[in-house]
Chains A and B, each alone.
Chain A
Amino acid sequence: MVIALTPVDLVTAVALMLTSAGLSLFLSLGFHKGMVWASIRMVVELLLLGSLLRLVFRQDSAALTVLIFLAMLTAAAHEVGARQPRRLQGGWRHLINGAAVSMSTIFVSAFALVTVLGADNWLEPAHAIPIGGIILGTAMNSASIALNALLSNIGNERDAIEAQLALGGSRFSALSPLMRRAVNAGIIPVMNQMVGAGIITMPGIMSGQILAGQDPLNAATYQVFLMLLLAASGTASAIFAVYFTVFRLSDERHRLRLDRLEDERRPKG
C-alpha cells in the first residue's frame, strides 16, 4: 500500500517545524530565521524537483538524462569548493573538484546502472537520476570533508612540512601524513553509514522502498548493493580530490606552494 500525502498532512508537518522555530525564538537560541528559510528552500526545491522529474520521466530521453546529470555534477563541484576555509585559486579548484566528483560518480553510477538495469536501458531516467544522485551526494560529501581537513591544516603545518622538504624529503613524503588524515576524514561518513546501518538507523533507500511497499528483504539487498557502491565513490572522490589538490599545492621542485591558495577568508555557511 502506497500512501500519498494530502496537503493537510503537509500543513501539520509545517506546524511542527514552526513549533521548533518558535522554541528557538522563545529560548533565544537564534536559529529560527535560518530554520524557516531552510524549510522554505527545501519545500520549493523538492516540489520543483518532483515536477521536473515527472516531466523528464514522461520524455524518457537519454539525452535529457545526461543533461540533468551534468547540471547535478556542476552544482556538486561548486559545493565542494564553497565551504572550504581556504581554497585553491579559481580555475584549478573547479577543475580538480569537478573531476573528483565526476570521475567517481560517473564510474560508480555506470557500474550500478549497467548492473541493475542492464546495458540496453541503463539511461532510463526513473532509475538513473536517483541512483546517480545518491552516488553524487556521497562523492561530494567525501571530497568536501577531505579537502576541508587538508586545507584547514596545511597552513598550520607549514613549518613541519617545509622542515621535511629542507632536510631533503620529497613533497609526497612530507605531505603524506596530512594526506592520510584528510582522506580518512573524507571516508568517515561512508564508514559511519555502513557501521550505523541496521542497528542504529534504517538507511534512507531501504526506508523509502519499504514505505513504497517493497518487501523488506528485497529493500535490504538493494540497500547493501548501493551502500557498497557509495563506499567506493566516497573513497575515490576523497582520494582524487586530496591527491590532485596536493599536486597543485606543491610543484615539480618539491616546494610547498601555499601562494596558490586564495587569501584567507571566513568560512561560509
Chain B
Amino acid sequence: MTKPSLKGSFPPTSTVDAMEFELAAHSCLVLTGPSGVGKTTLLRKIADLDPHDGVISLGPIKQGDLPAPEWRRRVMYVASNSGWWAGRVRDHFSVDDNTLVLIDAFAVGRDKLDASPSHLSTGERQRMALVRALSLQPDFLLLDEPTSALDHETALKVKAVLADRKRSGCGLLVVTHDSAQAERLSDGMLRMRAR
C-alpha cells in the first residue's frame, strides 16, 4: 500500500500569490520565499493552527474531516521557538529506546532529560523539540528553521536523522535559510511569491 501524499492549494491573498503543492511520502520540499511573505503562517495553516481558506488534504482525507488533534498528530508542525509546559524535559515525551537513540544522534546529553527546559540552550531545546515530535511518528513533519540555532557539525547530525526518517516514509516540508541543508535533503523547492 502506498502512503498518501499531502496536498494543498491556497487562493491568492492581498500579499501572496496563489499556490499549490503536493508533498509525497519519502520526500522533502523546501519552502522558500522573501522574508515576511508568510512561510511560518503557511506551515501553521497546513497544521490547522491558523484559520485559512485553502484546501488541504492527506490522500483522500480533507483537513476538516479529521478532528484537529488527530490531523496534527499526522501532519506535525515544529515551531522555530519551541514551547515547553512541564517541569523537566522528560515530562514532555515518553523516554524509551527510540527517543534515547535520537537524543544520542542529536548529540544532546542524556542528563538534559532531567533538566528544566529553561536551563537548556536554545539549540538544545530545538533538538529536544525535534525528538519530541519524532517520538510521535507523524506521517508528515512541517519544520520551521529546524537548525537555525545549531552549529554546522550539529546541524549535519540533525540532517542525517531527518534524511533517515525520510527514507522510512516521513514527508518533510522545511523552511530554512541554510541552502546547503536544502540541497542535502530536498527533492524540490516550493516557492512563495509576494504579489
Which residues of A pack against B, CB within 8 Å?
A: 157-170, 177, 251, 253-256
Q: Which range holds the interface residue count of chain B?
A: 20 to 34
Q: In whole angstroms, what is the CA distance A165 to B83 when docked? A: 10
Which residues of B pack against A, CB within 8 Å?
A: 47-51, 64, 67-70, 72-73, 76-79, 81-85, 129, 132-133, 136
Asked whether A170 lies within 8 Å of B83 as measured between CB atoms, the reply is no
User: What's the least CB distance linking B50 to chain A, in Å?
Assistant: 7
User: What's the least CB distance linking A134 to chain B, in Å?
Assistant: 38
Q: Would you list 28 pairs from A and B whose C-beta atoms are within 8 A, ordered by A residue?
A: A157-B85, A159-B81, A159-B84, A161-B83, A161-B85, A162-B79, A163-B85, A163-B129, A164-B83, A164-B85, A165-B68, A165-B72, A166-B47, A166-B72, A166-B77, A166-B78, A167-B132, A167-B133, A168-B69, A168-B72, A168-B73, A168-B136, A253-B68, A254-B67, A254-B69, A255-B50, A255-B51, A256-B49
Q: Chain A residues near B83 (CB, 8 Å)?
A: 157-164
B136's nearest neighbour on chain A, judged by CB, is A167
- Give 8 closest A-B pairs by Cβ, nearest first: A163-B83, A159-B83, A168-B73, A160-B83, A160-B85, A254-B68, A253-B68, A166-B77
Q: Chain B residues near A165 (CB, 8 Å)?
A: 49, 68-69, 72
Q: Chain A residues near B67 (CB, 8 Å)?
A: 254
Known pairs A161-B83, A164-B85; A170 contacts B48 (CB<8 A): no
User: What's the least CB distance linking B4 to chain A, in Å?
Assistant: 18
Asked whether A166 lies within 8 Å of B79 as measured between CB atoms, the reply is yes
A178's nearest neighbour on chain B, judged by CB, is B85
B72's nearest neighbour on chain A, judged by CB, is A168
Q: In whole angstroms, what is the CA distance A169 to B85 when docked? A: 12
User: What's the least CB distance linking B5 to chain A, in Å?
Assistant: 21
Q: Chain A residues near B133 (CB, 8 Å)?
A: 166-167
Please tell me which one of the listed residues A157, A162, A167, A255 contacts residue B76 in the complex, with CB atoms under 8 A apart.
Answer: A167
Q: In whole angstroms, what is the CA distance A143 to B81 when docked? A: 32
Q: In whole angstroms, what is the CA distance A4 to B82 when docked? A: 65
Q: Chain A residues near B132 (CB, 8 Å)?
A: 167
Q: Chain B residues near A166 (CB, 8 Å)?
A: 47, 49, 72, 76-79, 133
User: What's the least CB distance linking A150 to chain B, in Å?
Assistant: 16
Q: Chain A residues near B73 (CB, 8 Å)?
A: 167-168
Q: In whole angstroms, what is the CA distance A256 to B133 when docked? A: 19
Q: Chain A residues near B70 (CB, 8 Å)?
A: 168
Asked whether A159 lies within 8 Å of B79 as measured between CB atoms, the reply is yes
Q: Chain B residues near A162 (CB, 8 Å)?
A: 49, 79, 83
User: What's the least CB distance linking A155 to chain B, in Å?
Assistant: 13
User: What's the least CB distance linking B129 to chain A, in Å?
Assistant: 7
Q: In whole angstroms, what is the CA distance A165 to B49 when docked? A: 8
Asked whether B136 lies within 8 Å of A255 as measured between CB atoms, the reply is no
Known pairs A159-B79, A159-B83, A163-B79; A255 contacts B129 (CB<8 A): no
B69's nearest neighbour on chain A, judged by CB, is A168
User: What's the least CB distance linking B158 to chain A, in Å?
Assistant: 18
Other contacts beyond A162-B49, A167-B136, A168-B73: 16, CB < 8 A: A157-B85, A159-B83, A163-B83, A163-B85, A165-B69, A166-B72, A166-B133, A168-B69, A170-B69, A251-B51, A253-B48, A254-B67, A254-B72, A255-B49, A255-B50, A255-B68
Q: In whole angstroms, what is the CA distance A168 to B70 when docked? A: 6
Q: In whole angstroms, what is the CA distance A164 to B68 when docked? A: 12
Q: In whole angstroms, what is the CA distance A167 to B133 when docked? A: 7
Name which of B51, B72, B132, B136 has the most chain A CB atoms within 10 A of its CB. Answer: B72
Q: Chain B residues near A163 (CB, 8 Å)?
A: 79, 82-85, 129
User: What's the least CB distance linking A250 to chain B, in Å?
Assistant: 10
Q: Chain B residues near A256 (CB, 8 Å)?
A: 49
Q: Chain A residues near B81 (CB, 8 Å)?
A: 159
User: What's the least CB distance linking B3 to chain A, in Å?
Assistant: 19
B73's nearest neighbour on chain A, judged by CB, is A168
Asked whether A255 lies within 8 Å of B84 as measured between CB atoms, the reply is no
A159's nearest neighbour on chain B, judged by CB, is B83
